[in-house]
Amino acid sequence: MRYVFWIFLMAWAWLRAAPTTPEQMEAAFKARPETDEIHWKDATRGAPLKVRILEITENSVIVEKQLPSGLTRRTIPLNELTDVKFSLTPWEISLHRETGTESLAALRILWQRRSAAFRFPSSGIFRTAIALAKTLRWSATDDGFDEAEKILRVALEEVADNSQRTLLQGELHCVLLSRAIRKESHEEANRLAWEITEEASEASPDAMLLATGFLADRHFSQLRAIEAEHPRWMEDDEIKPIRERLYHLSLDFALYPSLFHGQREPEASTGLKNAALVYQFAGETDLWKGALEDLIQLYPDSPAAKEMAPVLEKFHKSKNSAAPPDVPVEPTEDLPEAEPVPSQNPPPPKNYNLFSD
Amino acid sequence: MIGVWVFPALFAQPVRPEPVLDVGPVELLNSGEADFNHGRWREATTAFQKFLTNYGGLPDTAATVAKVKPLLAICQVRLGEYDAAITLLDESLSLPDLKPNQRTDLLFFAGMAKLKTGQAAAARQHLGAIFGDLKVERSRRMEALILGGMSYVVEKNWIEAISFFQKHNEEIRAHQADAGARADLLLLFALMEEKRWEDAEALARRMGRNSEGIRQWVQFSSLLIALGSHFLEAGESHRAIILLRQVLPKSEILRLQTDRLREAESEMKFAEQNEQIIRSAQLQATIDEIHRELETFENVPQFDSAARLRLASAYFQQNRVREGCLILDQMVRQMEPDETVESATASLIRGWMSLNRFIRAERTADLYLERFANFPQVPNLPEVMFLKAQALEGQVKYQDASNGYLEVCKKFEHHAIAPQARFMATYNILQQERYTEAEAAFSSQMKTLKPTDEIWPHVAFWHAMTYYFDQKWEECRRELEAYLAATKKRGIGSEYADNALFRTGYTYFSEARYPEAIRVLTGFVSEYPTSEWMAEALLTLGDCHAAEGDLKAADSAYQQIGEEAPGFHDEGWMKRGNLRKAQKDWAGMKSLFTDFLKKRPQSPRTVEALQGLGWVAKQEGDVNEARRIYWEAIWQWGNEPARPGLEDIFIALRGFYSGEDQNLLEETMHNALEKSRAGKTHLLSTRLGWALAQFHLSDRSRDESMEIRKQRSREELVRLAPEIEPKETAPRILADLGDALAETGDSEKAKEIYEGLRKWWPRAPERDRAFAGLGFIAMHAKDELKALECFDRYEKSSIMPKSAPDEHGISLIEGETGGKVALARAELLEVREPDRSLAIFLAMQKSKAMPARLRAEAFLKTGRHQIKQGHTRESLPYFEQVYLLFNRFPDLVAQAYFERGEALEKLGLTDKAREVYSELASRTDLVDLESFKRSVERANALGGVLQPKQPEGAVIPPQPAAR
């Protein structure tokens, strides 16, 4: 019996320093353990075979296996197989979890070598599609968005499993919305964002957070625009309901991340800060203070909390005074330009929508 | 529940008996080792056991047996056969010459087996021998550490467990994230068991922030809920929120947990491939544990509701109603209906109501009714139905609200809420001014109530008020007196007592029964000195005294009206002035109004005070004094920002310049305007300029036509445009200026002014003119949709009377602007909605409230509309009506003649057409008009102008009005 602990230590070292360049990836592919599986269509060929899969092409899979005769490489036609399963190494798991742009090259290589595996439902290749699309989305370039969309649409055409489709659809939503926001196609972004909120898929928190963040900003921007356009909105029976709707939706959208994805600190804390700003803008002093307290209590280490802490401090200092502290209404730089205020509500939701009246 | 998840069996693999081949010792050993290396524990066990049974007693196999026994023991541990394994492991550990790594493995598995069989202290000894030995390879030490700490947990020795994990967890985490997370979970559990809440909270927050290593999400989430619940019960909402917000939805936990399971399985394969036996064993344990957790978790009912309800409660506890409602809103829709959801949905409706989000409250109530209609236990149903009715009332849907309340009392006749619902049902009928129905309903409810019932005072008072609104004074008094008598007698439900007494007095006043009114209102004044109705009561009392001729008492009553009710206060002051006027007390009148101007300069009644002073001056024959008073007021207040009544001062000035003095007024105004402009008093200049334009419009002293006067007025107004700041300018000035600019073709500036009026004066009656003006501008710019939108807003905001809808549902705003808008709308709809367009033209023709010229235009445009629709024959009577009925509008008459002639030609009736053209050609009063010339041309083309016969439809055409 052999105790080969150094192999484990080597694998651990891989995990710590996952390959990112094509050269490193090539080496990494060759060093992968023989834990992938291929399943024969012809049952007489035996049990699933554990191999190292190097690449899957449109028609075949290239595998390696250490045999008594030495390391053997074979090209097996895909029509001889019923299933292919990848057993991800720790560095591959890490690569799928992280979405830093430094992972892009490695994920691309994974995708290129494995994307033909879509025909095998157990291959898990949809995860690679999502990880790559997400990384491309974070790169925030026009080409990146286009490539991500293409990958996801290919995946959606191939994948039949509903839960996998939901995840792919969620990422596709993120890609499309991010691109629309980047291109300042406000109406397109608005349509996509509402579409996402209608589906309200908990399996795609990224999409919901992106959509609610966009819609919070948009509605707050429109709220400011309508108040600028109608300074006496409270006396205006026609405008008041529109203004009220914008006010409520600004808050509902801003609060969504902290209420439903509270562990996503950047989005949740920014949302709470935005809610505080809406309250400040609306002159709702107690609620303004309350939102600031929530922000600083719930996300004390967030940049938003640090930014807003002096405002709450002013509140505490002026607690004996009935008037709110003298803090200018802030955000204009982060928000899109004021758009025309809608005279009508968006189309009625197809499904239940948390944000629709 | 938590215990189940925290203490699963470490290993549990099903035992599957396998046949053993009858082979020799070498084959058995090779086969056993191969099975061992591939994790085929059962097969390996069988082979090793067979070897020991068949060959173990032979003298030359002792060394081999010593090597086989540890392997067999490990197989037994992996198979969950701990007792058998322990014996072999203890035996193996006593063997000499064990290699350090072999010894470590045996210690580890012995510790594991003993821990599993409840021998925690013995297990700790074995594991301690590993983790206490710094020479042992690190990953083995870390696994031993976790199991070592777990031994305290198994013993429920929380203090030692905490101490142990606090000492070692950092090292474990640094070694491997998932191992660290496992150790942290055990520490968290121990801290909670030991009620060290702050430490537990700090750990849970840290774990939440660094959740990458967590593989047991089910366990972690369950601990978070338990910890959050503790803080919630302790009233520490923020701490509860911090923890509960980390709890993911069940579906997300399942997804994450399945992902982690897959990762662990991949890693285990990797470990097995590389013969990392301890790591593989531990991963197997984790995988088994996750499988069991998943199985248990999938069967946990209401996990999401438990978490969300607690989170919502924490927000409600913090008075964050919106946040609590949003959480509940999502929760109640995602969950299967049960008692918790029933109660939560009712709370949600209350929450939305408290935020005045009536639509959402109504929608949630509908959801409740849909989901719980056939539910066995619906304790909140009556209240939910009541709240739904309230939500409808909040949306001003009074009839729906009334129906909703009625449904509550029908469905829950004997419920405590039924009387209140019945009252509210009727109250909403009253809101619709359906007095007879409301009276009958209140009367019917009164018969079912005793004065001691809680709802009785409300029903009794509003029953009386129904008569009051219906001006049935006698019945109203009877009910009010009954109500007052009951409250006095029983001392209950007196919240309406002051109102009831005042209304009683007012009923007498309304019937001109002044002595009774004086008696009641005097009683009211002394009985309810702080009543909100005091000001109105004093004014009514003053009026009663005045009507009875007791002017002194009237003056006293008016004088008592406090400034806190400024409208009534100023009204009383004016009436006091009128009392002095009636008494011909000019000095008193003068003093009173002068005093008013000093004390109430911002009042909208200042112009009346000035008029009073002017009137006195006139009476005293001193017109100059009257003029001086007005001009002084103009110079004093004329530059102030807009407020009601200010422009009236400028307009009223004309009353003091009659006849030839009109020229003096014009000159004085011009001079004032120049002076004001020089002094840069912009607002005063605007008002003076506007007043001058108004003066020019109505100045008939120069014998100028209306069109010329309008032209002069427009020019005066347009000159004001550059200086106008809509925020500070009165809406009537803005509306006049906008119209003037539009009429002179400056659409852009007109639009700006109209927009300013709309923006800054949303409650001004002139706002409808802005919408109309914007509509006409859009129409001229061919922006039809915008024009229609503006006309809709005009009709919505106009305060002018509106006709009842006709058989086509057409309802017209009366007056000139309303008529112009209707005609414009009909023209805009000619293509897209020709039937509606025609219906509007027809309604315009019939409307007596419309100016005659607009009705004439409606006839003319109806004729044109018919031609456009290809109905040439149908157009004829409409053209004819114009010159038969509206002869005073020559331009329209000429067009109607000509276009009728054209229609007849189109129909091939050339003789008839020639007659019509000739008839127009005989109208010398229309000779200058284009249609006249074209008619002559057409008549000549058809054979020449015929000599005038009897003009069609009239014996002698009336003379046209002066143009």
Give the tens place of pLDDT for each residue, B117-168: 889 999 999 899 888 888 888 878 888 899 899 999 989 999 999 999 999 9
Position A320 confidence tier, pLDDT thresholds 50, 70, 90: low
Does some domain include residue A357? Answer: no
Position B444 confidence tier, pLDDT thresholds 50, 70, 90: very high
What does the radius of gyration of chain B's CA atoms come to, in whole angstroms?
Answer: 48
Does some domain include residue A347? Answer: no
Position B690 confidence tier, pLDDT thresholds 50, 70, 90: very high
The phi, psi pair for B802, rounded to 5°, reads -125, 135
Whether residues A153 and A220 share a domain: the answer is no
* Per-residue pLDDT tens digits for A194-212: 999 887 776 678 999 999 9
Does some domain include residue A228? Answer: yes
Whether residues A152 and A50 share a domain: the answer is yes
Cβ neighbours of B139 in A, within 8 Å = 5, 8
CA distances from B223 to B202, B203, B769 (A): 13, 11, 66
Structural domain including A245 reads 187-317
The pLDDT of B229-243, averaged and rounded, is: 93
Say yes or no to pLDDT of B321 above 90: yes
Query: Could you give the number of structural domains in chain A?
Result: 2
* Per-residue pLDDT tens digits for B75-122: 888 888 888 888 888 888 887 777 888 888 888 888 988 988 889 999
A286: CATH: 1.25.40
Position B951 confidence tier, pLDDT thresholds 50, 70, 90: low
* Per-residue pLDDT tens digits for B456-513: 999 999 999 999 999 999 999 999 999 999 988 877 777 899 999 999 999 999 999 9
B255 → chain A, closest CA residue: A203
Chain B nearest C-alpha distance from A143 (Å): 30
Is B100:B135 a contact under the CB 8 Å cutoff? Answer: yes
Say yes or no to pLDDT of A346 above 70: no
- A196-210, A325-339, B104-118, B378-392: range with highest mean pLDDT: B378-392
The single-letter DSSP state of residue B335 is S
Residue whose tokens read 């007596």: B848
Q: Which residue has the higher pLDDT, A10 or B271?
A: B271
Tell if the CB–CB gap between B760 and A232 is shorter than 8 Å: yes
Tell if the CB–CB gap between B274 and A33 is shorter than 8 Å: yes
Tell if the CB–CB gap between B137 and A202 is shorter than 8 Å: no
Tell if the CB–CB gap between A87 and B269 is shorter than 8 Å: yes
Which of B36, B318, B759 has the CB atom closest to A229's CB atom? B759
Does some domain include residue A342? Answer: no
Whether residues A163 and A304 share a domain: the answer is no
The pLDDT of A309-317, averaged and rounded, is: 89
The per-residue pLDDT for A198 is 83
Does some domain include residue A345? Answer: no
Q: Which residue has the higher pLDDT, A127 or B301?
A: A127
Whether residues A118 and A137 share a domain: the answer is yes
Which of A5, A93, A238 has the CB atom closest to B276's CB atom? A5
Whether residues A199 and A170 share a domain: the answer is no
The per-residue pLDDT for B961 is 45
Residue type, B121: A
Whether residues A242 and A219 share a domain: the answer is yes
Does some domain include residue A331? Answer: no
Instruction: Give B 591-610 residues with CB within 8 A of chain A.
Output: none
Spatial neighbors of A28 by CB under 8 A, at least 6 apart, are A14, A18, A19, A89, A91
* Per-residue pLDDT tens digits for A224-240: 999 998 999 999 888 89
The phi, psi pair for B155, rounded to 5°, reads -80, -5
Whether residues A203 and A156 share a domain: the answer is no
Position B16 confidence tier, pLDDT thresholds 50, 70, 90: very low
Whether residues A77 and A138 share a domain: the answer is yes
Report the residue of B136, B270, B367, B754 to disrupt the A interface, i.e. the one with the largest count of A CBs within 10 Å. B270
Query: Percent of chain B, pLDDT > 90?
Result: 60
Taking the domains of chain B in order of start, what are their residue ranges? 765-850, 870-963
The per-residue pLDDT for A208 is 92
Pairing of strands A81-85, A70-77: unpaired
Is B144:B111 a contact under the CB 8 Å cutoff? Answer: yes
Say yes or no to pLDDT of A14 above 50: no
Does some domain include residue A340? Answer: no
The per-residue pLDDT for B270 is 73
Q: What is the mean pLDDT of chain A?
A: 82
Whether residues A211 and A249 share a domain: the answer is yes
The pLDDT of B614-630, averaged and rounded, is: 87
Cβ neighbours of B104 in A, within 8 Å = none
Say yes or no to pLDDT of A352 above 80: no
- Could you give the ipTM of this predicted complex? 0.82
Whether residues A271 and A143 share a domain: the answer is no
| Helix, strand, coil distribution of chain B in percent, nearest 5 | 75, 0, 25
The per-residue pLDDT for B904 is 96
The pLDDT of B524-544, averaged and rounded, is: 96
Quote the tokens at residue B415.
């419920």
The per-residue pLDDT for B949 is 61
- Domain boundary at A183, A218, A242, which? A183
The per-residue pLDDT for A9 is 29
Position A124 confidence tier, pLDDT thresholds 50, 70, 90: confident
The per-residue pLDDT for A88 is 84
Whether residues A287 and A178 share a domain: the answer is no
Say yes or no to pLDDT of A5 above 80: no
For the ranges A247-251, B46-50, B955-959, which has the lowest average pLDDT?
A: B955-959
Query: Percent of chain A, pLDDT > 90?
Result: 46
Cβ neighbours of B36 in A, within 8 Å = 1
* Per-residue pLDDT tens digits for B674-686: 999 999 999 999 9
Whether residues A95 and A111 share a domain: the answer is yes
Report d(CA B222, CA B210) in Å as an integer: 17
- Domain boundary at A151, A183, A215, which? A183
The answer to whether the Cα torsion of B731, B734, B740, B744 is positive or negative is negative
Position A1 confidence tier, pLDDT thresholds 50, 70, 90: very low
B329 → chain A, closest CA residue: A354
Torsion, Cα of B176, B179, B183, B186 (10° steps): 150
Tell if the CB–CB gap between A357 and B363 is shorter than 8 Å: yes
Position B948 confidence tier, pLDDT thresholds 50, 70, 90: low
- B94-108, B272-286, B817-831: range with highest mean pLDDT: B817-831
Q: What is the mean pLDDT of chain B?
A: 89
For the ranges B29-33, B67-71, B940-944, B956-960, which has the lowest average pLDDT?
A: B956-960
Beta-ladder partners of A65: A72
Question: With an 8 Å Cβ cutoff, is B156 touching chain A?
Answer: no
Say yes or no to pLDDT of A24 above 50: yes
Say yes or no to pLDDT of A117 above 60: yes
The per-residue pLDDT for B662 is 87
Q: CB contacts < 8 Å between A and B, how many?
A: 132
